[in-house]
Structure 1
Amino acid sequence: MKTMREEVFGYMQKKYKAKPEYLWARFPEYAVFRHADDQKWFGIVMNISYDKINRDKSGMVDVLNVKLDDILLRDLLVQQDGYYVGYHISRGNWISIVLDGTVPFDAITNLIDVSYNVTASKKTKQKIRPPKEWLIPSNPKYYDIVHAFDNADVIDWKQGAGIKKNDTVFLYVGAPVSAILYRCKVTEVDIPYDYHSSGLTITKLMKIKLIKRYKPEQFTFERLKTEYGIFAVRGPRGVPNSLSAALKGK
């Protein structure tokens, strides 16, 4: 039967292709797990004397150090059995989890995932983040967006920074329409393109699929301002939760 330490090692190697690195001759049982791209640590497994983290305990115990993104979550966890302020790394929201069965394996893997995401590089975070909703502008001066989906439900569109496959985009059409007209799903990204003209440069495209149409009077610029605090749509931006709920409502 595998030990909890072995199960944790197996999880990080299988999911993140991260192998344990033994960096200290004085501490041959200490293993570090890193991101492949920037070499930042997202997990450290150590074998320590239990009384170093809990005076009421004795003997040796394996602990896993992971980093959290929420100080309130850290403070909540360290009040529970099996969780401690990070051993040797107490700053920066690191915690230590004992690997003696006190904490369920599923709970440990969830926190490994959190730590991996928190410590990831900007490029990796973009790659692994969940689908996001965007509000993006469209200018009738450059493209007849009002009739863009008359003959097809998938079109090519200028790809904004940060947008990835499976994201949702809500197309805001500028004056004289001045309203959100379409909800679309991004089906393909990073399509090479080279277009330059006065005031417009496009270097890559994405494909977007029409999911829903809105009437021009539904989500006007005036409503975006007064109800949702959106005073300008000059480039891709996130969608407030309240507006998202309204856009996805019946």
Structure 2
Amino acid sequence: MSTSDILRVEDLRIRYEKGRSIWGIPRYGDVVHGVSFSVKQGETFGLVGESGSGKSTIGKAILRQIPVIGGTITFDGQRITDWPDGQTPLSYRRAVQVVFQSPRLSLNARMLARDTVAEAVAFHLGYKGSQLDGHVAQLFDDVGLPRHFGERYPDELSGGQQQRVAIARALACDPKLVICDEAVSALDVSTQAQVIALLRRLQQERGLSYVFISHDLGVVRNLCHSVGVLQHGRFTDLGSTQSVFERPKSQYTRDLLSAIPRVPGKAA
């Protein structure tokens, strides 16, 4: 494994149970078919594809939320697919965090924004009292939220503000890798741009790596260093963002690229 790779996925295969026969025998459907890619330290890898392509399934496998049937996932030199199912070290859960699509659903509506972030800090770092308060305040500063917003409930915040709280929560334990699962797709265009700028700034400041899962190639082109285009659990294109967007190999990728909205009068 290259020292510049924080994550390496090799020949990953995943299947789901689709039901059972009248005799109770499970029926399976393969979802991911031998996918391989790597994520460099401090860079963003984009997983792109239509709904059902397998991109979120790969994210769940990296987070160890679902079992895999073949292949390996190596994180920071450790082959995490060697660990028994259901047994994930706390050190890994600290190092790999996630930001979900809908901040409104991922945040506890009954908890103040400050308490949502504080809970993660206290659990992972064990901070209490003034040390906890100071760390939470710094996280609010880091994601561009006024500290007094911490005294609001999620429903009292805009979608972009909610997502900033979710990002602050993900940063609570100083992770190395963040899985962004459609993290801006529920936001309006102007708020998307602000959150993307935030993610880029945090990456530069903290050396973060991202796996950015999205169906929006325009967003991916703006944020990602490399990209894999998924169709039915297989890559149709894989490489640097520039090479995939400028020299796509498959008709599927060309069709996706042709669907990106163009601004009238603006050169492609």
Name the TM-score, length of structure 1 as normaliser.
Answer: 0.25
Structure with bigger gyration radius: 1
- Bigger proportion of residues as helix: 2
Name the TM-score, length of structure 2 as normaliser.
Answer: 0.24
- Bigger proportion of residues as strand: 1
Larger relative CO (CA 8 A, sep 6+): 1 or 2? 2
